Amino acid sequence: MVRKAELKDAKMIAELLSTFGDEIFDITGAVINTDKELIVKLFDENLGEKFEAFVYEKDSEVIGFITFCESFSMYAKGEYYTVTELYVDRNYRSQNIGKKLLDTVIELAKKEKKLRLELTTPPLPEFQKSLDFYLQNGFEVSGGKKVKLEI
């Protein structure tokens, strides 16, 4: 079942996000934060203030999660949500869990009168299946490559 994330979920989300980072690194060599202690700290300090989250729970275990934050831009005509992470434990994929998490945020965005949802997929072409998932759920490719500058 999907429910709003709570502070008690931080450790399980840190485990999943760390696994996600390891998966990305193993396939592409790209590095994301997998420091579980730091993930828990960031989750605890920022949930409800800088970002929101939903989890998918089965038998009292978090097996998937989605995080998102409010964004604003003139090109998007105002306020929208940016999905920052969406991950489902590999043992539970292809069971519509990711779709249920995504649909929960879409419904909230509609209720809150947000104009769009944006996200960045994991590296392509290695994670083409992720892009296909979003395209099947109504998203469209909207621009160039994501770029970053570490500071």
Q: Residue 115's Cα: distance from chain center in Å?
A: 18
What pLDDT shows up at residue 148?
79
Give 61-90 pLDDT, tens digit per residue: 999 999 999 999 999 999 999 999 999 999
User: Furthest-apart CA pair in the chain: how many Å?
Assistant: 43
**56 pLDDT exceeds 80?**
yes
Confidence of residue 46 (pLDDT cuts 50, 70, 90): very high
pTM of the shown model: 0.93
What pLDDT shows up at residue 149?
77
- Amino acid making up residue 85: E
**47 pLDDT exceeds 90?**
yes
What pLDDT shows up at residue 96?
96
Give 121-138 pLDDT, tens digit per residue: 888 889 899 999 999 999
Mean pLDDT, residues 111-128 taken together: 92
Q: Are 39 and 11 in contact (CB under 8 A)?
A: no
Cis preceding linkage at 125, omega within 30 = yes
